[in-house]
Chains A and B, each alone.
Chain A
């Protein structure tokens, strides 16, 4: 009998036994989801791919700073800095350190963004989509033109292959980069056995070098603000096929007082109901709203002029205003609601 194979089976069996108690949790989550959002296989795959890529990039960058800038010569760290296999991901995945709501919410938004981009590409060619980004380059206000150029450059750096999610360290929101960087550092310390302060210092340098202004999201947000301040543009209705997805989302977010992440998340919900409410609250004309809905819809849902037109704008405004409240408040409000207390039997 092959002894090594036997050992593998034993090892595998032990690992399975350790995890067995979580089977019920996993199955329960799949059976009893608490939201109506459907996560398809492509989203799961993209999320895992993105997560692995981000962890790998952070790990490599820390190792490069530690080994090249700070003279650390530990073999595991050197191997990672020189492009070897990543070491932290498996540890972090098993430990549950990547399951924080902050990171998972970011993953969800990124994968949904990727979904939207894929849907958009079914309606407009990549070439045409890219040309939308040049729309504001000739803007009469040089500040706007300059901001548009900045967005164009930032986007060109992070565009992934068609249907694939692009992970770029420069594009990570600072809070998310921070949330990833320290667990990765701890994993590196554990994996390499290197106990000097240099790994932590390398992480600090990595974070200090991170420039939020270079990221696509902030570039789009700033351009949205400038366009909103521009007399010529402030009344124009944004459309993903005219402005590109990122700028469209940023402009709608600015108009509604919500965050771009919220807008993207709304598009994942059934019938994009909350997204429609946001458009109605922003007073998008019927035809524009129908066209935007069709451009971003992933199924065969239909938004009719009648249902959109008859949606009470004032109620939409009130709802959007509630959704713009801080998350902590919204959560507390939900937990304190009569319905919830009834459910709890309180």
Chain B
């Protein structure tokens, strides 16, 4: 319940020399009872009782703000006391002239100083920068006080940005005032310590971007995928549901995105009637952007799922040739748009394997989709199957630009785009695919040479047929 301060008349009460509440209007009585008081008992609203005591001690009329709180709300009052000069033992009059209730709503808000305490407790340091990423304050874990030497220097002069991201992506995020998540940085100083940074943009009262507040978690563990996962889990803690995308945001976003895509396609296909060409083209762009967002939502849901410790895959009986035909069928239209031919293994052939059908199909769709995206129009994508060393393999080869040797491992890292942008990729597909392949007891590797195309090979445990 919210009661505004516009009281039709002041709320009154009387308190005797011993601090007992002798009488009170309903609003005051309700507060008194909710604060644990009893009818005729000592006034139980602490600040109000203190005001009465002071008024009586001074023998004077006071007029002061008073705050009180019960289970439901916080109340701001303006209270005047009325002291009787003729007989000091007369009850003290209380007159509450303003009364404003606020529901308790600050539960999720963490006071900055408490946030700092939590940071320290959990071994996190804090860095505050201005809008130009110059460090204004820095206190790292294990250091007693502020690190004044770095103040005024650019964050990027003190730390090296290390994959999965680069300076450019970090600056892009800063330029767009986006939160920065799980950014790994290495100190340039002799210590060369590794940190994982989480950053939130700060906006001042005038609505202007005022810099970032980062928390820095030491990441001195070896750089293995498992460590990455752990970091994410620790960073997100319990503030975000373990299945934010899978259970909450994903379904909430898919429906409106689906409508946007469907409507945009209706418009671009001029299904409802004639339309100016450029408008149809805009609608096509909207549909394409919508699909990209939908892919991203799906990728993030998958990412979240595979990084959960309890993530498991089913051990279905699958056939890689059958999967190859299904995946190619799903992407046939896209390939045709680019005049790309998908060369598939003989449909009569059988390569039995063990793995989850849906996840294996997902990997192949990702591999063929990437091949279409990065192959020149009119080229051929070859899918070849084989069995070797107890593993059933399917290789997807394209005639694209290929991948330099030094980048061949990087492409499997999260959000790694090798500097590409605007082609509809999220940088998660290969990361997810490799994690899925490994979860199914297999692997995903790449073989490529710059200028000579790439071959991605998915291996899954061979299934022996009777």
Q: Which residues of A are interface residues toward B (Cβ below 8 A)?
A: 141, 143, 174-175, 177-178, 204-205, 207-213, 215, 218, 221-222, 225-226, 229, 235, 237, 283-285, 309-315, 317-318, 321
Contacts and interface: CB of A to CB of B under 8 A. Distances in A.
B199 to A, nearest CB: 14
Give the top 9 A-B pairs by smallest Cβ distance, nearest first: A208-B85, A213-B63, A285-B206, A212-B63, A312-B137, A174-B60, A283-B205, A312-B136, A218-B63
B213 A143 contact: no
Contacts of B242: none
Contacts of A174: 58, 60-62
Contacts of A221: 65
Interface stretch (B75-83, B218-226, B326-334, B396-404): B75-83
A208 B113 contact: no
Contact of A222 (B60, B78, B130): B78
Given A283-B205, A285-B205, A312-B137, A208 B116 contact: no
A76 B65 CA distance: 41
B128 A225 contact: no
Given A213-B80, A285-B204, A317-B112, A222 B98 contact: yes
B64 interface: yes
B136 A209 contact: no
Contact of A309 (B6, B85, B130): B130
Contacts of A312: 128, 136-137
A141 B7 CA distance: 13
B147 to A, nearest CB: 13
A229 B76 CA distance: 9
A85 B61 CA distance: 30
A178 B61 CA distance: 12
Contacts of A207: 58-60
Nearest to A201: B85
Q: Which of B60, B63, B76, B98 has the most CB of A within 10 A?
A: B60
A225 B58 contact: no
Given A174-B58, A225-B76, 15 more contacts: A143-B5, A178-B59, A210-B61, A212-B63, A212-B80, A213-B63, A226-B98, A283-B204, A285-B204, A285-B206, A285-B208, A310-B130, A310-B136, A311-B136, A314-B137
A79 B65 CA distance: 41
A304 to B, nearest CB: 14
Interface string B48-67: 00000000001111111100
Interface string B184-216: 000000000000000000101110101001000
A314 B59 CA distance: 42
Nearest to B205: A283
B58 A175 contact: yes
B100 interface: yes
Interface size class of B (residues with CB under 8 A): 20 to 34
Contacts of B6: 141, 143
Nearest to A228: B76
A317 B113 contact: yes
Contacts of B130: 309-310
A283 B112 CA distance: 14
Contact of B60 (A178, A237, A285, A314): A178
A339 B152 CA distance: 28
A284 B5 contact: no
A346 to B, nearest CB: 22
Q: Which of A175, A313, A318 has the most CB of B within 10 A?
A: A313
Interface in B27-74: 58-65
A127 B65 CA distance: 31
26 contacts: A174-B58, A174-B61, A174-B62, A177-B60, A178-B58, A178-B60, A204-B85, A207-B60, A208-B59, A208-B83, A212-B62, A212-B64, A212-B80, A213-B80, A215-B63, A222-B65, A222-B78, A225-B78, A225-B98, A283-B204, A285-B206, A310-B136, A313-B202, A315-B137, A317-B113, A318-B112
Contacts of B80: 212-213
B116 A204 contact: no
Q: Which of B76, B205, B210 has the most CB of A within 10 A?
A: B205
Nearest to B137: A312
A143 B8 CA distance: 11
Nearest to B59: A207
B60 A208 contact: yes
Interface string B82-99: 011100000000000010
